[in-house]
Chain A
Amino acid sequence: MKKKIIYSAALCVLSWGFSACNRDLLTPIPQTSVSDASAFSTVNRVQTQLLSLYGSSNSTNIGGLKDGNLYGGRYVIYGDIRGEDFINETGNLITGSDVWAENPTNSATAVTTLWNYAYLTINKCNIFLDGMAAGGTKVVGADLGKQYIAEAKLIRGLVYYSLLQFYARPYADGSGSKPGLPLRLTGIKGLASRT
């Protein structure tokens, strides 16, 4: 009887003993990306984030000033074809017939790409500015911090200015009194209201 109790106690102790010591596995740290909490914790992270405001390859839905959907192509082309020296014959949305005709709809490719990517870029600028204010400037130092913040503000301003050319009402209609674009000046990283 004693033997049985010893055996069972041993088995229990071994099993339950080994078992409970892996709780940190419940909060894994992503190994192939940087988590939100530490995105501004090193100089390298601040600098690479600033670079991404100009553009990033490798994936879609990133945005960036020189992304193909902004200054890397689409924005420039759309600007061109709205000039008087272009005629659109095919009625093909892929080649921007709705931009040429200046009557795009919400779901057309022209809008979902240009509008989308412009705001992706603006949001990244805002996230960067928020992060710099929250601790990034301390990491890189005041001088570099000021320079980086200026770069981000320039990119954000340029993108807003570019969007205005396409999506705000012309001065002739209301002399600037009509609403133009949603103005986003703080970074959004999670659920937001649908406004």
Chain B
Amino acid sequence: MFSFIGYTPQEVAVNRQSTINVSLKGDSQQLNEVVVIGYGTQTKRDATGSISSVKGSTIANMPIQSFESGLAGRTAGVQITVPNGVLNNPPVFRIRGTNSISLSSQPLIVVDGVPTFTGDYSSTNAPANPLASINPNDIESMDVAKDAAATAIYGSRAANGVVFITTKRGKSGAVKVNYDGWVGFSDAYRLPSLLNAQEYINFKTQAVANNPTASAIKYNQINDANGNPVDTKWYDQVYRQGVSHSHNVNISGGSEKTNYYFSVGYSKQEGILKKNDFERINTLFNMDSKLSKLFTVGGKISYSNEKNLSATSSGSLYGEAFNTGGLGRLAIVLPPILSPYNNDGTYNTNGAAMGSSNISGISSLSYYNPVVLLDNNRSNSESNHIQSNIYAQLKPVDWITLRSTYGIDYLLISNDLFWSPKGGDGFSYGGYGTAVSGTYKTWVWTNTAQFDKTFAASHNVSLLAGQEQQRRTSNSFGINRQTLSDDAYNQIQAGWVTNNPSGMSFGENYLLSAFGRLTYNYKEKYFLSGNVRQDEYSALGEKKGVFWGASAGWEITQEGFWKAAHLDNVFSNFKIRGSYGKVGNIGGIGDYTPYSTYASGLYGGASTLYFSNVGNPNLKWETSTKTDVGFNFGLFNDRITGEFALYKNDVNNLILYVAQAPSTGLPTNPPQNVGTMYNKGLEFSVNARVINTKAFQWNSNFNITFNKNEVTSLAPGLNVIQTGIGGGTSETVNQTAPGYSLGQLWVVRTNGVDPATGKRIFVNSQGQNVYYQYYAPTGQYQYSTTPDGATKYANAAGGTAITQATDGVMYANVLPKQYGGWDNTFKFKNFDLSVLLTYQLGFSVYYGSNAGLHDQRWWNNAKDVLTDAWQKEGDTGKKYARPVYGDNVSNGSAIPLDINVFKGDFVRLRTVSLGYTLPAALTSKAKISNLRVYVSGQNLGILTKYPGPDPEVSSNGASSNNSTSSQGVDRNTIGNARTITVGLRAGF
């Protein structure tokens, strides 16, 4: 077997030759590669749509829970943001920008032909991403379809792009057995530096002294059981080094007629947050069998059990940012002079809250003792996921292929939450538990007929006609129980006083479709293709829709004039292509959204019926009209290949829930198809075999995407949409308005700190400076237009304070304008090194935690208050105002301020992997055909000006319906971990 990177391998029988001359042909392998295009495959040579392919082997042994985070930086157009360091949290996944406001902007994920569940299916503090059921080791390829031509075959679900996941199948030949195992160590990094006990006492005492009304407050240093002063490092109480390990075995093989692939995997991963674990057992079996010349059958069955475990809220998931028990927040808010335990070893608590007996003058801190929560509470979600399909394929003649596929996707989730009565949220209830069980089932039945014929040796035609039904049902029910009968109980089935129903939901939907695709090419020179799909979906008012996409391509290198100009010596391929089409989005619409319904309630023990949901019988899908123009090229015998594309997505009929006048008395906001938005941009990717010698090879792959997003209209009477963090009202920092990108940061401006008085200077809506003091002595005012505090501030409407509603401005964009990756692979003898850098540029992040880190209540502060807070008259250029006890305004806690908005641009060393393949001569003695050992690091370093732990962050996550318009927020979240793994892969 003769092989060399970039050339087609050749096998030559030795026979009796003593010298063999072999000449290898240049490998247009790229063009012969097959990409999945929805109900079929196509060679890259024939593809006119915009599709990128990533091999499963690139993400196979990464310390991730599901494949999405492995896609970051690998292909143009794809933006992945892992929201925080909590395990199995669905990443924010965007293809060519954010394309929806109220519905999901996550792409449709199709696994072996069956669209699967996406999002967070857990109702506890441990997220459950159903895509974690697919072991990254079992993935053969991931094909990302981006433009209308490639996605229109999925019609009403294609607007956010489609990702095809294909699992491995066996190949004919000898049985292959592979083992992959790795051990990994994860650590939190870039945590802010906090004050220690002595610094805390000094600084906070100074703040108390600056506020005459707070004289009762005293911070006292106490000693622990050994007589040493208490100086608690709360990070050590909340974070840990996570040790993870993973093992996979797969067996595959086959004959000429049958092939099979069987794999079993076990993965136990520990997150950087104590008690946050992910444990998965999964198995996959794929088989194809050609029963006769005409008839092939095959199928797949995959079962996965995942345990998503945590003790309590991390404060990082959607809706958790302001939890008083959020572990991320507790670590930065609790004073270092408090000890988690009393000197007698009992928990230091004060009712539900953290014990604070050595801070006099404050009756309760309200925040909880994290050690009590970590030791006694649990918040778990276990999922059992079965994904299976079977197909039969008939080829009555060689140019007709008839195929029928039936697939199921069953997701069974079991949620278990327990709050101990010893402290925290469970204290006031005397113990609180919730258990909810959910069943989510999908079946899909697809029938297709494909006709492939070549006429007159130059006209290649392929026609696909198909019909598909998809049915989804969901139901969940559960119980919430309160007040334990015995302190030792902690299970939901034990004795409790009060019982309430919990987690009740019921839903069903049905999608009936017919689709077709026609592709034509003339001598592999001129390409035309068209897709059309009609979808009827039960959860819409106007149920039927037709979606289509058309594309054309021109392979210039086949032209006579090109060859005459000898350009084909330089270009091995150069295809110009373009596409246009209209697709839709229905992701996340509730099953009964179009209907107006009445719900049941209780009045004094009797049932009531009330109008509860305003529907819209004309509700239809969101529409995305996509235009794409570009070219693919290969230079110097495909030594350099690349793609370039310009695209525009015009989204209209965005579903918005427009609030009506309150006097109409409507219980919910009616959904309307009314908003418009666009994304336009440019993608460029290039792959080069930079150095290609026998001893040393260097392959480099670079991709960049430029994307501009703008909302162009909302609804009549709806000028802005404000999205609170976690959908709540504690803090609202994202505002969407026409003329701006989605979910811009909306904050109040400031103008530094006054050097003479140390007061925070706010800038009101008229651009005027307003001086603020938390404590206003008699005769002075909190908000004043003069530094001495004596001139009362009043705005045009008569208000006497700076508020976000009056003085907030659209301040910064949160969606990255440029993003991509740079992947370099080096091979030297038996060593290989690969380095992947990912980057996102042109966006800002609201570092809300920073407000808390400079809050002048009893909260702990970041170390920079010692140097950057105003101390005395004449201090210029200080970032933070004079510390006055109780001041939560100057720092940005009460009102979001521009001082907490930072540029999030980053370049991240995402993956570095160094491996060594043992020489074949050595390993074959042990009957091992290949053995590679490696060490790799993930998130090793990051280059950014962002002061928080991680600019790749999202307090609002990926999977709630408010997530699209509330990105770019870092409020009390846990940053991503840095992980080092050591592993080996053995093939037998």
Mark A residues whose CB is within 8 Å of B. Answer: 4-5, 7-8, 11-12, 14-16, 18-19, 22-23, 25-28, 30-36, 39, 45, 48-49, 51-52, 54-59, 61-64, 107, 112, 115-116, 119-124, 126-127, 181-182, 184, 188-192, 194-195
Q: Do residues A16 and B467 form an inter-chain contact, with CB atoms below 8 A?
A: yes
In angstroms, Cα B662 to Cα A135, docked, is 28
In angstroms, Cα B615 to Cα A86, docked, is 45
Q: Do residues A35 and B467 form an inter-chain contact, with CB atoms below 8 A?
A: no
Partner of A23, one of B449, B471, B512: B512
Partner of A11, one of B402, B510, B665: B402
In angstroms, Cα B508 to Cα A102, docked, is 50
**Inter-chain contacts of B667 with A (CB < 8 A):** 61-63, 120
In angstroms, Cα B670 to Cα A11, docked, is 46
What's the nearest-Cβ distance from chain A to residue B145, in Å?
25
In angstroms, Cα B611 to Cα A64, docked, is 12
What's the nearest-Cβ distance from chain A to residue B469, in Å?
6
What's the nearest-Cβ distance from chain A to residue B820, in Å?
42
In angstroms, Cα B609 to Cα A124, docked, is 10
- For residue B869, CB closer than 8 A to chain A, the reply is no
Given A7-B396, A8-B402: A19 in contact with B467 (beta carbons within 8 A): yes
Closest residue on chain B to residue A125 by CB atoms: B665
Q: List 11 A-B contacts (CB under 8 A).
A: A11-B392, A23-B512, A25-B538, A30-B597, A39-B611, A51-B609, A57-B602, A107-B805, A181-B663, A191-B672, A194-B661
In angstroms, Cα B608 to Cα A33, docked, is 12
**Inter-chain contacts of A181 with B (CB < 8 A):** 663
**Inter-chain contacts of B506 with A (CB < 8 A):** 31-32
Partner of B597, one of A34, A63, A112: A34
Partner of A191, one of B397, B592, B613, B660: B660
**Inter-chain contacts of A122 with B (CB < 8 A):** 665
CB-contacts of B488-519 with A (<8 A): 504-506, 508-510, 512
**Inter-chain contacts of B397 with A (CB < 8 A):** 4
Q: Do residues B607 and A51 form an inter-chain contact, with CB atoms below 8 A?
A: yes
Q: Do residues A59 and B467 form an inter-chain contact, with CB atoms below 8 A?
A: no
Mark B residues whose CB is within 8 Å of A. Answer: 294-295, 392, 394, 396-397, 400, 402, 404, 445, 447, 449, 467, 469, 471, 504-506, 508-510, 512, 536-538, 543, 591-592, 595-603, 606-616, 660-668, 670, 672, 716-717, 805
In angstroms, Cα B608 to Cα A48, docked, is 4
**Inter-chain contacts of B805 with A (CB < 8 A):** 107
Q: Do residues B597 and A191 form an inter-chain contact, with CB atoms below 8 A?
A: no
**Inter-chain contacts of A121 with B (CB < 8 A):** 665
What's the nearest-Cβ distance from chain B to residue A159, in Å?
10
Q: Do residues A19 and B660 form an inter-chain contact, with CB atoms below 8 A?
A: no
**Inter-chain contacts of B600 with A (CB < 8 A):** 33-34, 48
**Inter-chain contacts of A59 with B (CB < 8 A):** 599, 601, 612
Closest residue on chain A to residue B661 by CB atoms: A194
From A19, A61, A181, residue with most partner B Cβ within 10 Å: A19
In angstroms, Cα B663 to Cα A119, docked, is 5
In angstroms, Cα B468 to Cα A16, docked, is 10
Closest residue on chain B to residue A116 by CB atoms: B662
From B392, B509, B599, residue with most partner A Cβ within 10 Å: B599
Q: Do residues B510 and A26 form an inter-chain contact, with CB atoms below 8 A?
A: yes
In angstroms, Cα B613 to Cα A27, docked, is 17
In angstroms, Cα B602 to Cα A54, docked, is 10
Given A7-B396, A26-B512, A51-B603: A190 in contact with B597 (beta carbons within 8 A): no
Given A4-B396, A27-B538: A51 in contact with B294 (beta carbons within 8 A): no
What's the nearest-Cβ distance from chain B to residue A89, in Å?
14
**Inter-chain contacts of B402 with A (CB < 8 A):** 8, 11-12
**Inter-chain contacts of A124 with B (CB < 8 A):** 610-611, 665
Closest residue on chain A to residue B506 by CB atoms: A32
Closest residue on chain B to residue A39 by CB atoms: B598
Q: Do residues B615 and A36 form an inter-chain contact, with CB atoms below 8 A?
A: yes
Partner of B609, one of A52, A54, A115: A52
Given A19-B467, A36-B597: A7 in contact with B295 (beta carbons within 8 A): yes
Q: Do residues A28 and B396 form an inter-chain contact, with CB atoms below 8 A?
A: no
Q: Do residues B595 and A36 form an inter-chain contact, with CB atoms below 8 A?
A: yes
Q: Do residues A55 and B661 form an inter-chain contact, with CB atoms below 8 A?
A: no
**Inter-chain contacts of B716 with A (CB < 8 A):** 194
Partner of A123, one of B509, B536, B664: B664
In angstroms, Cα B667 to Cα A14, docked, is 47
Q: Do residues B404 and A15 form an inter-chain contact, with CB atoms below 8 A?
A: yes
Partner of A184, one of B447, B603, B663: B663
Known: A23-B512, A26-B510, A189-B666. 5 other contacts (CB 8 A): A28-B592, A35-B598, A64-B603, A107-B805, A127-B611
In angstroms, Cα B603 to Cα A19, docked, is 46
In angstroms, Cα B400 to Cα A120, docked, is 62
Q: Do residues A33 and B613 form an inter-chain contact, with CB atoms below 8 A?
A: yes
**Inter-chain contacts of A8 with B (CB < 8 A):** 394, 396, 400, 402
**Inter-chain contacts of B616 with A (CB < 8 A):** 190-191
Q: Do residues A32 and B601 form an inter-chain contact, with CB atoms below 8 A?
A: no
In angstroms, Cα B663 to Cα A4, docked, is 69
What's the nearest-Cβ distance from chain A to residue B277, in Å?
35
From B445, B602, B667, residue with most partner A Cβ within 10 Å: B667
What's the nearest-Cβ distance from chain B to residue A85, in Å?
27
In angstroms, Cα B716 to Cα A192, docked, is 12
Q: Do residues B665 and A33 form an inter-chain contact, with CB atoms below 8 A?
A: no
Q: Do residues B666 and A32 form an inter-chain contact, with CB atoms below 8 A?
A: no
What's the nearest-Cβ distance from chain A to residue B505, in Å?
8
Given A26-B512, A59-B612, A62-B667: A112 in contact with B601 (beta carbons within 8 A): no
In angstroms, Cα B504 to Cα A146, docked, is 37
What's the nearest-Cβ distance from chain B to residue A191, in Å?
5
In angstroms, Cα B404 to Cα A172, docked, is 80
What's the nearest-Cβ distance from chain A to residue B527, in Å?
29
Closest 3 CB pairs between A and B? A123-B665, A56-B601, A52-B608
**Inter-chain contacts of A51 with B (CB < 8 A):** 603, 606-609
Given A22-B512, A56-B602, A56-B610: A11 in contact with B404 (beta carbons within 8 A): yes
Q: Do residues A33 and B510 form an inter-chain contact, with CB atoms below 8 A?
A: no
What's the nearest-Cβ distance from chain B to residue A189, in Å?
6
**Inter-chain contacts of B394 with A (CB < 8 A):** 7-8, 11
Given A28-B509, A52-B610, A191-B616: A63 in contact with B447 (beta carbons within 8 A): no
Closest residue on chain A to residue B404 by CB atoms: A15
**Inter-chain contacts of B599 with A (CB < 8 A):** 32-34, 59
Q: Do residues B664 and A49 form an inter-chain contact, with CB atoms below 8 A?
A: no
In angstroms, Cα B717 to Cα A44, docked, is 39
Q: Do residues B538 and A26 form an inter-chain contact, with CB atoms below 8 A?
A: yes
**Inter-chain contacts of A19 with B (CB < 8 A):** 445, 447, 467, 469
Q: Do residues A35 and B602 form an inter-chain contact, with CB atoms below 8 A?
A: no
What's the nearest-Cβ distance from chain B to residue A117, in Å?
9
In angstroms, Cα B668 to Cα A61, docked, is 8
In angstroms, Cα B805 to Cα A107, docked, is 10
Q: Do residues B661 and A195 form an inter-chain contact, with CB atoms below 8 A?
A: yes
What's the nearest-Cβ distance from chain A to residue B296, in Å?
12
Q: Do residues B666 and A123 form an inter-chain contact, with CB atoms below 8 A?
A: yes
What's the nearest-Cβ distance from chain B to residue A118, in Å?
9
**Inter-chain contacts of B505 with A (CB < 8 A):** 32
Closest residue on chain A to residue B609 by CB atoms: A48
**Inter-chain contacts of B603 with A (CB < 8 A):** 51-52, 54-57, 64
**Inter-chain contacts of B591 with A (CB < 8 A):** 28
Partner of A119, one of B294, B509, B614, B662: B662
**Inter-chain contacts of A188 with B (CB < 8 A):** 660, 664-666
In angstroms, Cα B504 to Cα A108, docked, is 33
In angstroms, Cα B591 to Cα A1, docked, is 48
What's the nearest-Cβ distance from chain A to residue B973, in Å?
28
In angstroms, Cα B595 to Cα A16, docked, is 31
Q: Do residues A22 and B612 form an inter-chain contact, with CB atoms below 8 A?
A: no
In angstroms, Cα B601 to Cα A114, docked, is 21
**Inter-chain contacts of A195 with B (CB < 8 A):** 661
Q: Do residues B469 and A22 form an inter-chain contact, with CB atoms below 8 A?
A: yes
Q: Do residues B614 and A32 form an inter-chain contact, with CB atoms below 8 A?
A: no
What's the nearest-Cβ distance from chain B to residue A15, in Å?
4
From A12, A15, A35, A182, residue with most partner B Cβ within 10 Å: A15
